[in-house]
Amino acid sequence: MKILLSIISICILGFIGSRWSFSHFKMPRFATQVFFTGAEFILVGLLLGPSFLNVLDEKIILSLHPVRALCLGWIGFLFGLQLDRNVFREFPREYLRIAIFLPISIAAIMLLPMYFTLASIFHGGMSLLPAALVISFTAAVTAPSSLAIFQQYHNLQRSPLITLFRFVAGFDAFPGVLITGIAGAMVCTSLPNAEFLPAGLVWFLFITVTGLLMGIILVLLLDTNPNSEETGLYLTGIIVLLGGIGFYFHHSCLYMAALAGIVVANSKYADQIHDLAIRPERTIYILLLLLSAASADLRTSIHPGFILMYVMFRFSAKMATGSLAASFWGRWPLTHRSLGLGLLSEGGM
């Protein structure tokens, strides 16, 4: 009964928050950055978690892992829908070059410091390399919401530089999504009768083929000209299936669902599915914030030294890679040495 009440409670919070937290009403700029991005639900999740009120205790959080897998699958699918090859053709080539260069370069700068910092904290007691990889690529992610708020405050609707920033922010999470798939395969269990190929490679091929196959199946289902209710059922079923596979085998729901989203994005049904999938995005995002924050154990999750190292190296990496991008494409008038300053906001992905 407590689990059922917890599910109902967080769903109500997610629904109300999606209608209230992102509302456009006047408030101080700092408060806008908090409330318009839904970051206050991190505090709500911590309050409901074991560290404070214990409404969502460890047993309930464990039981809610399938809900988290579903949410991650939905967010991953939405992200994959952005990778439409026709969209990339509408922008200068430099946009895509910078969007690829920045996250890879930032992760390369972050990897060793994060690895040795984790090693000093956990003394080799966890899978350090996959964790360091995921954290390093997470550092590259930029928050599109913060850029949108900045653009609105300063009336920069037609600024080419803001357009570049928003393009980068919409793309720079993809290498991180890919790395979650690789990291999950790296820490996987061994496979029987897998003598010729490493188990990690076999698992990575399995989840890659699964994600692409589910995207193809969804496109084939849409070829039957379903009505809107049937389309919603097909979409939800595919995402639930991918989330379930990822949850059961302990692999990245984000990665598999993103691959399915890429397949659909490059089909004739891209606009139709995007309009349908985008509707619950805010509610699902808030549910993820609540569940992630409630899962955090403040006794073990807070390491001031690690946080300081992360912030320092992330700032340095953003500035350094922005300057490098300016030097590589300096002939292009939109790039300049302070490019990294526009991409400092941390993205929720």
Q: How many CA atoms lie within 13 A of 64 on its CB side?
A: 26
Q: Give the helix ranges, DSSP H, for 187-269.
A: 199-222, 228-249, 253-265
| Per-residue pLDDT, 272 | 93
Of the candidates 247, 262, 230, which has an alpha carbon nearest to the alpha carbon of residue 65?
A: 247
| Per-residue pLDDT, 223 | 95
Packing angle, helices 228-249 and 65-81, rounded to 10: 120
Of the candidates 348, 322, 346, 321, which has an alpha carbon nearest to the alpha carbon of residue 336?
A: 322
| Per-residue pLDDT, 13 | 76
DSSP state of 346: B
| Per-residue pLDDT, 200 | 86
End-to-end CA distance of the chain: 32
**Dist. CA 139–CA 100, nearest whole Å:** 14
**Dist. CA 303–CA 309, nearest whole Å:** 10
Tokens of 191: 């496979």
| Per-residue pLDDT, 29 | 60
pLDDT in tens, the chain (349 residues): 667 777 777 777 777 776 665 554 566 665 666 566 667 788 888 888 888 888 888 888 888 888 889 899 999 999 999 999 888 888 888 888 889 999 999 999 999 999 998 888 877 666 889 999 999 999 999 987 777 666 666 666 667 778 888 889 889 999 999 999 999 998 876 666 656 778 888 899 999 999 999 999 999 999 999 998 999 999 999 999 999 999 988 899 999 999 999 999 999 999 999 999 998 888 888 888 888 888 887 777 778 888 899 999 999 999 999 888 888 876 665 666 777 888 888 876 5
**Dist. CA 162–CA 130, nearest whole Å:** 33
| Per-residue pLDDT, 90 | 86
| Per-residue pLDDT, 8 | 76
Please say whether the beta carbons of 218 and 238 come within 8 A: yes
Please say whether the beta carbons of 246 and 219 come within 8 A: no
| Per-residue pLDDT, 261 | 97
**Dist. CA 26–CA 9, nearest whole Å:** 28
Please say whether the beta carbons of 293 and 69 come within 8 A: no
Tokens of 206: 């399995």
| Per-residue pLDDT, 260 | 97
| Per-residue pLDDT, 342 | 80
